[in-house]
């Protein structure tokens, strides 16, 4: 089974030229504003790498009717739909995921919806298909915002301290710590203990993303987070691959 790699970032369109690279799930907040070096010399500081999530076994491939348009790919722990939007019909799928931390990073969901609006009238390369998951954590988003607020636009520059409860899903799990890489039932975030769930992929949101990646086998994927000002190539328990590092550099320049 091929390993996918997912890095954090903010802009996607220039990734279409580098869709052959693969990604892993990262586990820390960031946005794309800095460019990590594509290679590392003995005198350079090592590229920061975030722990990453493994991929298990999962869903069946999409049927023909679900290949384009809007698709419900799963449901949250609170029973809300997790929706993917598909654009283009090419064999090379590029996946973008936002809203992992619900209301705490709601501006990533707003960005995803703005990208959806753009892609509705965009002309994509014939061999490319773009999939956008605007809200992986709808339960966390609804703790603070009405769902329609994200679709129609809202002020994402509010005090993040006011949105901390919306970082977690309905089970108060930090979804970013529920993937299969250095998993632990408890973890630390900003000097406070947070839950990683009762087991790896115990949360339906994380399992939904895992199953989608296994079934659809995207050639590239990005997870948007909302802090830190960096793009990370990902690796779990080791150095990132040269492909991941090169794509992270390309993504950072585009952003």
pLDDT over threshold 60, residue 218:
yes
Question: How distant, in Å, are the alpha carbons of 6, 72, 135 from that of 83?
Answer: 19, 4, 7
pLDDT over threshold 90, residue 123:
yes
Where residue 197 falls among pLDDT bands split at 50, 70, 90? very high
The pLDDT value recorded for residue 18 is 28
Which range has highest mean pLDDT (12-16, 54-58, 230-234)? 230-234
Section 123-147 average pLDDT: 92
pLDDT over threshold 70, residue 17:
no
- Rounded CA separation 168/227 (Å): 16
The pLDDT value recorded for residue 67 is 60
pLDDT over threshold 90, residue 34:
no
- What token pair was written down for 74? 């799963």
Percent helix, strand and coil across the chain, each to the nearest 5: 30, 20, 50
The pLDDT value recorded for residue 248 is 86
Section 159-177 average pLDDT: 90
Weakest mean pLDDT among 18-32, 59-73, 115-129: 18-32
Pairing state of beta strands 69-75 and 81-87?
antiparallel
Please report where in the chains the tokens 């966390």 appear, as a residue: 140
Find the helix or strand (DSSP H, E) in which 208 lies.
Answer: helix 204-216
- Go through the chain and tell me how many residues it has: 255
Q: Are 20 and 244 in contact (CB under 8 A)?
A: no
Closest CA to 104 of 36, 35, 156, 51: 156
Residue 174, helix vs strand vs coil = coil
- Rounded CA separation 73/55 (Å): 17
Mean pLDDT in the chain? 76
Question: How distant, in Å, are the alpha carbons of 30, 71, 136, 164, 210 from that of 227?
Answer: 4, 29, 17, 14, 24
The pLDDT value recorded for residue 62 is 55
Non-local CB neighbours of 121 within 8 Å, separated by 6+ positions: none
The pLDDT value recorded for residue 14 is 30
pLDDT over threshold 90, residue 97:
yes
Residue 30, helix vs strand vs coil = coil
Reported pTM:
0.74
Residue with more model confidence, 27 or 68: 68
Q: Are 78 and 170 in contact (CB under 8 A)?
A: yes
- What token pair was written down for 164? 């901390």
Where residue 247 falls among pLDDT bands split at 50, 70, 90? confident
């Amino acid at each position: 089974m091929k390993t996918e790699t997912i890095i954090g970032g903010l802009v996607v369109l220039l990734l279409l030229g580098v869709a052959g690279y693969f990604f892993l799930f990262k586990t820390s907040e960031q946005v794309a504003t800095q460019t990590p070096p594509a290679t590392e010399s003995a005198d350079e500081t090592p590229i920061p790498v975030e722990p990453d999530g493994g991929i298990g076994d999962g869903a069946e491939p999409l049927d023909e009717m679900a290949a384009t348009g809007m698709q419900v790919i799963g449901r949250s722990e609170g029973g809300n739909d997790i929706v993917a939007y598909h654009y283009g019909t090419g064999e090379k799928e590029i996946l973008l995921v936002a809203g992992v931390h619900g209301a705490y990073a709601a501006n990533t969901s707003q960005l995803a919806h703005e990208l959806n609006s753009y892609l509705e009238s965009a002309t994509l390369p014939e061999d490319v298909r773009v999939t956008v998951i605007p809200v992986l954590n709808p339960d966390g988003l609804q703790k603070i915002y009405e769902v329609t607020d994200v679709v129609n636009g809202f002020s994402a520059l509010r005090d993040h301290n006011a949105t901390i409860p919306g970082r977690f899903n309905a089970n108060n799990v930090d979804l970013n710590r529920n993937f299969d890489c250095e998993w632990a039932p408890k973890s630390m975030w900003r000097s406070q203990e947070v839950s990683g769930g009762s087991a790896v992929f115990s949360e339906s949101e994380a399992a939904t993303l895992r199953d989608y990646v296994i079934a659809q086998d995207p050639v590239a994927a990005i997870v948007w987070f909302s802090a830190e000002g960096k793009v990370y190539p990902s690796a779990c328990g080791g150095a990132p691959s040269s492909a991941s590092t090169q794509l992270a550099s390309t993504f950072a320049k585009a952003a």
